[in-house]
Structures are given as C-alpha cells and as structure tokens.
Structure 1
Amino acid sequence: MYDGYKELADYIESTDIKDKVKLKFVDIFSEDIKKYTAVYDVLKMGYSLPIVTVNGKARFAGGIVFEKLYDEIKKLL
C-alpha cells in the first residue's frame, strides 16, 4: 500500500496544488487506525483498500484515479 501512496505523493508533487495539500499514509494495522474514524468506518463496512479521505471524509475506496482526486481537491481550494 505504501507504494501506491508514494505514487500519489509524486503525482501531487507535480501539480499546482502541491503547496496547498498535506498527504498522510495511515497504516490500517496499527492501533492508531481508530483515531481516523472516516477510514476505520469505511473499513468496517467492507470497502477495499486504498481508502482516501479529503478533509476527514472518505472520498475514494478500492482504487484511486489521481486526476479525479486532483479535481476533488481543486474544488475545495
């Protein structure tokens, strides 16, 4: 999963929003996962990884199309 996160981070770094967003990788097998309620709740519902949240709300699960995520973030900026 971390490889996918790194690919996403590299993609965001190549865009005009790179200085306006913060990415964070969350290990779903750590005890800290319960702190990330949006991710934890989506996992309990059985959605597939990866799970992507934007501003604390689950937006994507089961795969990421980087361009769609970029568009979602741009709407919020």
Structure 2
Amino acid sequence: MVDVTVFGTVEQDQGGCNCGCGHAHSMRDAAEVLEKELTEKFGDMVRFRFVDAFSEEVMDFPDVVKVMNQFRFPLTLLNGEPRFHGGLSLEKISDAVAELLGAIGGFRP
C-alpha cells in the first residue's frame, strides 16, 4: 500500500491549481480529482488524504511542518516523503505510485 498525502489550501485559486485542467478551483478540488483517479487505477492499494496546510490538522505532521516553507503548495508526500510540489500531475504521481507498488510486489500494470 502507498500513502498519498496532499497538503494544500482550501480557498478558491484564481490562478488555477497547476493540475493541467485549465480551470480555477481549489487545491482540495484538484486533490479530490486526483484521489478518484488513483483509486480507479490502484484500488485499495492506495490510501489518500488531503490536509489543509493552514488547519490544526497539519500539526499531526510535525516533520512536514518543519519543511513546509521549502516547498510550493500543493505538496504531495508518498509514504511520508515529499515527492512533488507546486502542482498535481496525475501522470507523475500515478507513475511514482506504480513504481512504489512494483517495488513491494503489489502492482503489475
């Protein structure tokens, strides 16, 4: 199983979320689309969580709080490790999840 955690903001983003869809929406909205796509592709081999970076919930991740200012939102962690920031690329994140699952013998395309 791969844990995918996205840290972002919940406000409407007038500049878009850098997810490539061309629509202005919140990072939470973009994360929900990502979650749906990853779940369709990998099923229960992926556990997904969105965390509002400006909520109390972020305090559950003290290691992330320490380094958050070094990254642009949205910040995506795979199994607790920062892997992507500044956008949500389904292709890149999906490839990385598949690679991690392949390394543990859990996914065969």
Higher RCO (CA < 8 A, seq sep 6+): 2
TM score, norm. by length of structure 2: 0.61
Q: Pick the structure with more strand per residue.
A: 2
Picking from 36, 56, 65, the partner of 1:40 is 65
Partner of 1:23: 48
TM score, norm. by length of structure 1: 0.83
Structure 1 stretches (4+) deviating beyond 6 angstroms? none
Unaligned ranges ≥5, structure 1: none
How much is the aligned-residue C-alpha RMSD, in angstroms? 1.5
Unaligned ranges ≥5, structure 2: 1-26, 102-109
Q: CA deviation at 1:27?
A: 1.1
Aligned residue-pair number: 75
Partner of 2:73: 49
Percent identity over paired residues: 33
Q: CA deviation at 1:38?
A: 4.7
Structure showing greater Rg: 2
